[in-house]
Structure 1
Amino acid sequence: MNTIDLQSVGALSGIVPPMVTPLSQRDVLDKSGLERLLNHVIEGGVAGVFILGTTGEAPSLSYRLRREMISETVRIVDRRVPVMVGVTDTAFVETVALAEYAADAGADAAVLTTPYYFPAGQTELTRYVQNIAPLIPLPLMLYNMPGLTKVWFEIETLQRLSEIQSIIGVKDSSGDLDYFGDVCKLKSIRPDWSVLIGPEILLREAIELGGDGGVNGGANVMPEAFVGWFNAIKGGDEETAKRCFEKVNEFQRIYDIGKYASRHIKATKSALSLIGICEDLPADPFNRFLDPERARVAEILHQLGLSTQEANCG
């Protein structure tokens, strides 16, 4: 299968949802739910999809299931939008192997975060990317997620890594807007780079700093609101931007339900199940929301008009 050449079409711009991984049972992909989910976000106008990231619970999934998620996603998407695949593993060779599988399956780009568990120094991290990038047969986006990996892609490190032509940009989920702005400044030496923000509520600030869009988990549930917000910001339509922001901001309340860090993933999956998209089962060791939590999610969705159908900003 031919892939979309991200390096030839220019920087990726817009909303790229970090997809949940729908599960019907432990280590069993909810294929029909995945198809509904992918069609849901693509019809909502997203610029691409990113699978096997944090929201996709990648480190908790078996290698077999990760590969199935890749092949099924590529098949369902059918080149309608670029498919980006998280490939990071604690083992160098497993990262390369998953990237090779993704390329063979027809994915369009690989996404690489800093290796986790053993914190790497910046010199080690630089050498790691320099060594692994030539072995990954796809355009490569770097993913800064220090809250979970314990290591930053420091700006000086990114500047050195900008010499690697297969690297096409950075996704930053640090939440540090000063850092994000410094990453955007690197586009002076790599104007082809895409710089995308993770924390969804910071989308406007990220765009104003020179960012190209967002990898926003809430776009799993209501892609049209996030796409509408992005388009309105870029187009200077403040009235529409305000309406879309109000929906996105109200949606943030679902992330306050539950008391564990896993609540962000559980809330997203719960919302998707409530609007009839896919199952809400998370990967072990997490549990799905119980009825009281689901009722709170349902109430927020009801207020957004999302209980039975997707709301937009019209």
Structure 2
Amino acid sequence: MFKGSMVALVTPMKADNSLDWDALHKLVEWHIEQGTHGIVAVGTTGESATLNMAEHAEVIRKVVDQVNGRIPVVAGTGANSTSEALELTAAAKDACADACLLVTPYYNKPPQEGLYQHFKVIAESVAIPQLLYNVPGRTAVDMQADTVGRLAELPNIIGIKEATGSMERLQAIQAVTPDEFILLSGDDGTALEFMRLGGHGEISVTANVAPALTAKLCELALAGDVEEAQIIDERLMPLHNTLFLEANPIPVKWALHRMGLIGDAIRLPLTPLAAEYRPALEAAIESAGISLSK
């Protein structure tokens, strides 16, 4: 169920800082039309760190209701407070999300045992499938493969989004988890290699901008047609790179604005993409065959 191209969806906003529900609705429909295989609502790319609890839960509910079972919806419900992560995960279950994505607690740097206990409490408290999310470049904590293996023994924990970009880490996780454990890349630039080595798909930032191409890349990779997938990956590589010229989701929100899909609003402490980076991102968008708004 959770495989292929799963977009880490942005959360559109208005100039007054309120959430832009109309733009969100249009984005969800566009992704379904373009062949995106699943939607991750309110993850890192969805600015989860700056949405309050009520907004967070409402975005999840609206996306789930609109998708209406057409593709899977995964709710980002991680937090650096276990009680807050529990609350968000329970809200996602109440909204009928298909699964939750829980990032490792950021900033407070828990030890491996703390990570295990954090995820164990949530898994045993809320009856919804849960995907772990390891992204040490943002959280300052790296969940080791042995910890993932321990957590994989818990019934509600069904997979991981692994965003280190390390194939050695992927193989270490494969060695300590069952075959059915879902392995999703969280790094667009290395996602093809991740799938070639047995991963099941990716949770993608690039898919926000190039949903059809990212979906096709994943379909080819999972079918074993790596050469054709490589052609698409090379076409998308400038996007993979330029979408991280500044902290995610600054570049991707600006890209979608230039495509005419959302406004240019982003919440502090993030700010719109610096002017010096815009020409490179525009060129990457166009090199992927995507039109910019006039």
Work out whether the TM-score is over 0.5.
Answer: yes
Q: What does residue 73 of structure 1 align with?
A: 63
Q: Is the 8 A contact 2:146 2:173 kept in 1?
A: no
Q: What does residue 102 of structure 2 align with?
A: 112
CA distance in 1 between counterparts of 2:156 and 2:226 reads 37
* Secondary structure at the counterpart of residue 129 of structure 1: helix
Q: Is the 8 A contact 1:266 1:280 kept in 2?
A: no
When structure 1 is superposed on structure 2, of 235-244 and 203-212 the one drifting more is 235-244
What letter matches 1:65 in structure 2? E
Q: What does residue 276 of structure 1 align with?
A: 260
Q: What does residue 285 of structure 1 align with?
A: 269
Per the TM alignment, residue 252 of structure 1 is displaced from its structure 2 partner at its CA by 2.8
* Secondary structure at the counterpart of residue 8 of structure 2: coil
Q: Is the 8 A contact 1:270 1:297 kept in 2?
A: no
Find out whether 1:228 has 2:216 as its counterpart.
yes
When structure 1 is superposed on structure 2, of 206-215 and 127-136 the one drifting more is 127-136
* Secondary structure at the counterpart of residue 215 of structure 2: helix
Q: Is the 8 A contact 1:140 1:169 kept in 2?
A: yes
Question: Structure 1 vs Structure 2: percent identity of aligned residues?
Answer: 29
Q: When the two structures are superposed, what TM-score results if normalisation uses the length of structure 1? A: 0.87
Per the TM alignment, residue 295 of structure 1 is displaced from its structure 2 partner at its CA by 4.3
- Pick aligned residue for 2:36 from 22, 43, 46: 46
Per the TM alignment, residue 277 of structure 1 is displaced from its structure 2 partner at its CA by 1.5
CA distance in 2 between counterparts of 1:26 and 1:183 reads 44
Q: Is the 8 A contact 1:15 1:47 kept in 2?
A: yes
Q: Is the 8 A contact 2:236 2:288 kept in 1?
A: no
When structure 1 is superposed on structure 2, of 297-306 and 165-174 the one drifting more is 297-306
Q: What does residue 161 of structure 1 align with?
A: 151
Q: Is the 8 A contact 1:225 1:247 kept in 2?
A: no
Q: What does residue 62 of structure 1 align with?
A: 52
Q: When the two structures are superposed, what TM-score results if normalisation uses the length of structure 2? A: 0.92
* Secondary structure at the counterpart of residue 9 of structure 2: coil
CA distance in 2 between counterparts of 1:149 and 1:84 reads 20
* 1:200-211 superposed matches below 5 A: 200-211=188-199
Q: Is the 8 A contact 1:17 1:219 kept in 2?
A: yes
- Pick aligned residue for 2:286 from 289, 302, 311: 302
What letter matches 1:120 in structure 2? P
1:262-296 CA deviation, whole Å, 9 max, x = no partner?
2x312111111122211232221111125554444
* 1:1-314 superposed matches below 5 A: 12-187=2-177, 190-238=178-226, 240-255=228-243, 257=245, 261-262=246-247, 264-289=248-273, 293-308=277-292
CA distance in 2 between counterparts of 1:211 and 1:54 reads 21
CA distance in 2 between counterparts of 1:197 and 1:256 reads 16
What letter matches 1:212 in structure 2? H
CA distance in 2 between counterparts of 1:85 and 1:202 reads 24
CA distance in 2 between counterparts of 1:180 and 1:165 reads 21
Q: Is the 8 A contact 1:122 1:153 kept in 2?
A: yes
Structure 1 unaligned regions, length at least 5? 1-10, 310-314
What letter matches 2:141 in structure 1? V
CA distance in 2 between counterparts of 1:282 and 1:114 reads 24
CA distance in 2 between counterparts of 1:292 and 1:155 reads 39
CA distance in 2 between counterparts of 1:105 and 1:25 reads 28
Per the TM alignment, residue 247 of structure 1 is displaced from its structure 2 partner at its CA by 1.9
What letter matches 2:199 in structure 1? G
Q: Is the 8 A contact 1:87 1:111 kept in 2?
A: yes
Q: Is the 8 A contact 2:192 2:230 kept in 1?
A: no
Closer/same/farther in 2, CA of residues 305 and 208 from structure 1, 3 Å limit: closer
Per the TM alignment, residue 185 of structure 1 is displaced from its structure 2 partner at its CA by 2.7
* Secondary structure at the counterpart of residue 99 of structure 1: helix
CA distance in 2 between counterparts of 1:110 and 1:238 reads 30
1:188-228 CA deviation, whole Å, 9 max, x = no partner?
xx222110001111122101221111111000111111111
CA distance in 2 between counterparts of 1:242 and 1:132 reads 38
CA distance in 2 between counterparts of 1:291 and 1:126 reads 42
